[in-house]
Amino acid sequence: MLNYTIRRLVLSIPTLLFIAFVIFMLLELAPGDPMASMPLTIPPEVREQMREALGLGEPWWVRFPLWLKQFFIVEPQYWIDGAFGTNFADGAQRIISFQSRSPVFDTIAERMPQTLWVVGMSYVVGVAIALPIGIISAYKQYSVFDQAGTFISMIGFSVPPFFSGVLVIVIFSVQLGWLPSIYDTTHEVVDWQTFKFQLQQMIMPVMVLALQTTAQVSRYMRASMLDNLGQDYVRTARAKGMSESVVVMRHVLRNSMIPVVTVIALGIPSIFGGAIITEQVFKVNGLGQLLIIALQGSDIPMVMTITFLLAVLIVMMNLIADILYGVLDPRIRYD
């Protein structure tokens, strides 16, 4: 298993390098000029100097390794320096945003908590709703509950977040006036009142994102439970006189969770993708919004870094899912 993990980790390095290269070359072809928004009165030679100041003067085969070095060596050094007060980085050049002229990672660190709160919470809520629905749907297959569960997950698959989000805003913010429609990120939780407000403003974005997760995970949970409920060991357990709750909740559930856990791990990157849209709907100033703004402003380093971070997340989650599968299910052998 350790062998396999190491092999996969080593294999993921060229994968990530290739992805970084694809993203870099895509952006390299971009006709969008970061100087486009500058006044036209700037003389051409000054404009050229400004381009060089942004680091655009060099050809791509110089800038791509430089970006790799900044991403993998310089930025972690700054991170360690910040955490332990050391001085590894020694003033090395960081990845600088074209728009704000500040280090890209500082901006990302500012935006990260909002996204993590909304996305993380929605994933936890979504999974927490999905698991019981899946279990009951499978145990009472073809019952009214199962039919309703199927229908709800169909809706979750079909209604895009930019419509469900807008719909809940119209209903709960506009018509009923219960919840705020815009997510206020400057809000700080200090007492019960502010906590209540935080809960109120989080509930809509979280539920909109959670609907997608619930739809997917509950389907997998149901299918996996159904697979296991028909197995011989279930009959044996019942024949031994075990109570129904022990059979279902201990024996069947544990075995059914194996594929579901991997699905949960694999779903994490896609929920970040979904957050790009949800953040746009609820005006959360998180990573997704940062990406959209950077795209519109041709802020190449920012787009590159955020997209690559998402790719790292995808590759890591694939790896974790595969390893988890091997750890949880002794029948799976990778060697």
23 is a site residue for another protein (CB under 8 A): yes
Q: Are 303 and 27 in contact (CB under 8 A)?
A: yes
Q: Are 258 and 329 in contact (CB under 8 A)?
A: yes
Site residue total, another protein (CB under 8 A): 44
Q: Which of 1, 6, 7, 32 binds another protein (CB under 8 A)?
A: 32
Instruction: Tell me whether residue 181 or residue 255 sits nearer to another protein (CB atom).
Output: 181
Q: Are 224 and 260 in contact (CB under 8 A)?
A: yes
What would the two tokens of residue 119 be? 């996305």
Instruction: Tell me whether residue 6 or residue 154 sits nearer to another protein (CB atom).
Output: 154
Instruction: Tell me whether residue 89 or residue 287 sits nearer to another protein (CB atom).
Output: 287
Nearest to 126 by CA among 220, 228, 238, 192: 220
Q: Give me the residue label for tokens 């109120």.
A: 200
Nearest to 70 by CA among 104, 119, 40: 104
Angle at 55 between CA 307 and CA 47, to 5 degrees: 120
Q: Restricting to residues 37-76, which ones interact with another protein according to CB under 8 A?
A: none
Q: Restricting to residues 267-286, which ones interact with another protein according to CB under 8 A?
A: 269, 273, 276-277, 280-281
Q: Which of 4, 5, 27, 242 binds another protein (CB under 8 A)?
A: 27
* Distance of closest approach, residue 196 Cβ to another protein, in angstroms: 24
Contacts of 11 by beta carbon, 8 Å cutoff, 6+ apart: none
154 is a site residue for another protein (CB under 8 A): yes
Which amino acid, 27?
L
Cα 310 to Cα 78, 149, 287, distances in angstroms? 21, 31, 11
* Distance of closest approach, residue 36 Cβ to another protein, in angstroms: 12
Angle at 190 between CA 186 and CA 196, to 5 degrees: 80
Instruction: Tell me whether residue 31 or residue 44 sits nearer to another protein (CB atom).
Output: 31
Instruction: Tell me whether residue 130 or residue 291 sits nearer to another protein (CB atom).
Output: 291
Residues lying near another protein in the complex (CB under 8 A): 15, 18-19, 22-23, 26-27, 29-32, 154-155, 157-160, 162-163, 166-167, 169-170, 174-175, 269, 273, 276-277, 280-281, 291-292, 295-296, 298, 303, 306-307, 310-311, 314-315, 318
